[in-house]
Structure 1
Amino acid sequence: MAAQFVRYTPDVEDDAPDFDRDVQTVIENTGKYIAESVTAGGTGRALRDAHAKGYGLVRGEVEILAGLPPEYAQGIYATPGTHDALIRFSNGSPHAGADARLGAATGLALKMFDIPGPTLLEDEPDRGTFDYANINAPVFFCNTVEHYLFIQELFLNAPAYFSKGRPGAHRFYTEFVTGKGTLDQDNWAWDEFLAFLRVAKTPPANVLLSSYWTMGAVRHGDYIAKVRITPDPSSAAAVVRRTLDPTSAAEVFRPALEAELQERPYAFDIQVQLCTDLERMPVEDTTVEWPEQLSPSVTVAKLRLPQQDISGPENLEKMDALSFTPWRVTAEHAPLGNIMRARKEVYRRSSIERHKLNQQPRTEPRSADEVLGPAQ
């Protein structure tokens, strides 16, 4: 019997009673951190409040495949064709510095060009770009903006906790579970904490060997989905620098990425997993991994990275000037759920503040060539 995919309706999302107030507090906390990071972050520049350290800006091309089943040929995936793209690989931490200090949570932010239709960013002219901002875990460790308030504070101050060794770590974990003492014991953040441990225990690997998921659910035209960007098996098999030891040098992830792309092209599969059961594949609970047995991920596009040279400081400078947000998408691909909804204004305001402090123009490019110059 064919799977019955859940159709999107607005009532799949919940309305949190204090959503607007809590988002405003997150924005204020984020702005304060970004401003202070100019002097405290160690780089002399304003940092992103997450994914602060980038590993490289990579040129790519997305081929949207022909012949997809109608449930998958939705939105931008209904029209086969190729689109130039840029990819930012990054560490998930809000801090910069040696790789060993930052953990193995990584991100793949993808920007596609020449996508028709306005995005959901009402204050931004239609520039024809479409973004994903994915992480290397199928779950996330926060479900509500109320919880994000104390989790954000813990993460921004994590170095101070863990610099104190085991007692500091114990305090960090205790304050995570208890919401820094604000949660009743029956409502302690155990699900979020277990999801955090899962992400934190991700073994370090070449960023070309990780899969990257949308943090929460998104619309997929008439349906509900999560989107995964996963290594093409034949490309992954060719990677030489597979297991990385962050303690072996201050920088291990960027040099490995540079070397691989100098030697050979690479490819990822862009895959869509459609929701078939809102109980077992929830929209509002990002700590739950959607089971592949209920609905396997289906490849809808190929992301190809040509052989290229991303070495040199100019690559990092161009990467730093870009903005990525899960809300730079067309309405058919709108992010879903309270945490995803919060990212819209938080990302926009943090990007504006960071660009202002770094005296960088905040203009969405129209092509990869506009950022990196013509392909060699």
Structure 2
Amino acid sequence: MAARFIPYTRDVEDDDPRFDHNLQTVIDKTKSFIAGSVTAGGTGRAVRDAHAKGYGLVRGQVEILAGLASEYAQGIYATPGVHDALIRFSNGSPHAGADARLGSATGLALKIFGIDGPTLLEDEPDTGTFDYATINAPIFFCNTVEHYLFIQDLFLNARAYFSQGRPGAHRFFAEFVTGKGTLDQDDWAWDEFLAFLRLARIPPVNVLLSSYWTMGAVRHGDYIAKVRITPDPHFADAVVRRAIDPASAPEVFRPALLAELRERPYAFDIQVQLCTDLERMPVEDTTVEWPEQLSPFVTVARLRLPRQDISGQDNLEKMDALSFTPWRVTAEHAPLGNIMRARKEVYRQSSIERHKLNQQPRTEPRSADEVLDPAHHRDSAGGE
């Protein structure tokens, strides 16, 4: 019997009566951290409050596949075609610095060009761009804005905790579980803490070899989904620089990425997992991995990266000037759930503050050529 996909309705999301109040507190703390990062971050520039360190800005092409089943041919995936794209690979930490100090949580932010229809960002509805902001894990360690208030504090100050050795680490863990003493024992953040531990145990690998998830749920036209960007096995098998040892040098992730893209093209599959069971595939609980036995991931597009040279300092500067947000999408792909909803204004205010402090114009590009010189291509996108 074929799986029954859950239709999207507004009531799949919960209302939080304190959402707006708590969100403003998160925004204020985010802006304060970004302002302080100019001097505290060691770069002399304001950095993002998450994914502060980028490993490279890469050109690519997204091919939306023809012949998809109707349940998957939704929104932008209903129209086959090829679109230029930019990809920012990054570390998930709110700090810059040596890779060994930042952990192995990494991100893939994707910007697709030439997408028709207004975005969900009221201040830039007609950019023609479509973003994904994904991490190398299928879960996240925070479900509500209320929890994010103390988790944000902990992560922004994680260096201070862990620099004190085991006592500092123990205090970090205890304050995570108890909400820094704000939670009743029956409400301690065990699910979030266990999700954090799972993320902390991700082994460091070349960023080309990781799969990346939207973490939270998103609309997929008439349905509810999670999206994954996962390596094409044929291209993954060809990667030479596979395991990464962050202790071997101050910079390890970026050099491995640079070397691979100089030598060979690469490709990822963009996949959609449709929800079939709201109990076992919840919208509001991002600590739960949706079982693939209930609904497999189905490839709806391919992300192809040509051979290219991204080694110049200008690549990092152009990457730094870009903004990515899970809300720069059309309504058919709206992020779902309270923690995803919070990201809309947090990402926007973070971008505004960072660009202001760095005296960078905050404009959304209309094409990949506006950002990266096409002459740096070595061959056709993703060609073998």
Pairwise TM-score range, normalised by the shorter structure:
over 0.9
1:20 maps to 20
In the alignment, is residue 82 of structure 1 matched against residue 82 of structure 2? yes
SS in 1 for 2:374: coil
Moved more, 365-374 or 325-334: 365-374
**How big is each residue's C-alpha offset from its partner over 1:34-61, in whole Å with a ceiling of 9 and x where there is no partner?**
0000000000000100000000000000
1:22-37 superposed matches below 5 A: 22-37=22-37
Tell me how far apart the structure 2 counterparts of residues 122 and 2 of structure 1 sit (CA, whole Å): 39
* Identity over aligned pairs, percent: 86
1:371 maps to 371
2:382 maps to none
1:195-344 superposed matches below 5 A: 195-344=195-344
Amino acid at match of 2:84: D
Deviation at 1:215, TM superposition (A): 1.8
Amino acid at match of 2:311: S
Tell me how far apart the structure 2 counterparts of residues 249 and 166 of structure 1 sit (CA, whole Å): 25
1:118 maps to 118
Ranges in structure 1 where 5+ consecutive residues have no aligned partner: none
Tell me how far apart the structure 2 counterparts of residues 60 and 123 of structure 1 sit (CA, whole Å): 27
1:136 maps to 136
SS in 2 for 1:134: strand
Deviation at 1:373, TM superposition (A): 2.0
In the alignment, is residue 350 of structure 1 matched against residue 358 of structure 2? no
Deviation at 1:103, TM superposition (A): 0.2
Deviation at 1:132, TM superposition (A): 0.0
Deviation at 1:97, TM superposition (A): 0.2
Tell me how far apart the structure 2 counterparts of residues 276 and 180 of structure 1 sit (CA, whole Å): 36
Deviation at 1:125, TM superposition (A): 4.2
Tell me how far apart the structure 2 counterparts of residues 358 and 63 of structure 1 sit (CA, whole Å): 35
Tell me how far apart the structure 1 counterparts of residues 193 and 244 of structure 2 sit (CA, whole Å): 26
Amino acid at match of 1:132: Y
Amino acid at match of 1:151: I
Deviation at 1:17, TM superposition (A): 1.3
Tell me how far apart the structure 2 counterparts of residues 176 and 107 of structure 1 sit (CA, whole Å): 23
SS in 2 for 1:372: coil
2:55 maps to 55
Tell me how far apart the structure 2 counterparts of residues 124 and 70 of structure 1 sit (CA, whole Å): 30
Deviation at 1:210, TM superposition (A): 0.2
Amino acid at match of 1:105: A
Deviation at 1:374, TM superposition (A): 2.4
Tell me how far apart the structure 2 counterparts of residues 127 and 184 of structure 1 sit (CA, whole Å): 45
Tell me how far apart the structure 2 counterparts of residues 345 and 244 of structure 1 sit (CA, whole Å): 35
Deviation at 1:204, TM superposition (A): 0.3
Q: TM-score, normalised by structure 1?
A: 1.00
1:175 maps to 175
In the alignment, is residue 10 of structure 1 matched against residue 24 of structure 2? no
Tell me how far apart the structure 1 counterparts of residues 125 and 219 of structure 2 sit (CA, whole Å): 22
Tell me how far apart the structure 2 counterparts of residues 2 and 278 of structure 1 sit (CA, whole Å): 17
**How big is each residue's C-alpha offset from its partner over 1:108-157, in whole Å with a ceiling of 9 and x where there is no partner?**
00000000000000011411000000000000000000000000000000
Tell me how far apart the structure 2 counterparts of residues 127 and 220 of structure 1 sit (CA, whole Å): 21
Tell me how far apart the structure 2 counterparts of residues 342 and 266 of structure 1 sit (CA, whole Å): 33
1:165 maps to 165
Amino acid at match of 2:151: I
Tell me how far apart the structure 2 counterparts of residues 276 and 124 of structure 1 sit (CA, whole Å): 34
Tell me how far apart the structure 2 counterparts of residues 127 and 164 of structure 1 sit (CA, whole Å): 46
Ranges in structure 2 where 5+ consecutive residues have no aligned partner: 378-384
**How big is each residue's C-alpha offset from its partner over 1:248-272, in whole Å with a ceiling of 9 and x where there is no partner?**
0000000000000000000000000
1:33-48 superposed matches below 5 A: 33-48=33-48
Deviation at 1:342, TM superposition (A): 0.2
SS in 1 for 2:227: strand
Amino acid at match of 2:83: H
Amino acid at match of 1:149: L
Q: TM-score, normalised by structure 2?
A: 0.98
SS in 2 for 1:3: coil
Amino acid at match of 1:67: G
Deviation at 1:244, TM superposition (A): 0.6
1:96 maps to 96
**How big is each residue's C-alpha offset from its partner over 1:228-263, in whole Å with a ceiling of 9 and x where there is no partner?**
000000000000000010000000000000000000
Aligned residues: 376
**How big is each residue's C-alpha offset from its partner over 1:154-180, in whole Å with a ceiling of 9 and x where there is no partner?**
000000000000000000000000000
Tell me how far apart the structure 1 counterparts of residues 338 and 11 of structure 2 sit (CA, whole Å): 12
Tell me how far apart the structure 2 counterparts of residues 301 and 374 of structure 1 sit (CA, whole Å): 23
Tell me how far apart the structure 2 counterparts of residues 2 and 256 of structure 1 sit (CA, whole Å): 43
Tell me how far apart the structure 1 counterparts of residues 358 and 96 of structure 2 sit (CA, whole Å): 16
Tell me how far apart the structure 2 counterparts of residues 373 and 20 of structure 1 sit (CA, whole Å): 42
Tell me how far apart the structure 2 counterparts of residues 39 and 55 of structure 1 sit (CA, whole Å): 21
SS in 2 for 1:268: strand
Amino acid at match of 1:124: E
SS in 2 for 1:242: coil
SS in 1 for 2:58: strand
SS in 2 for 1:196: helix
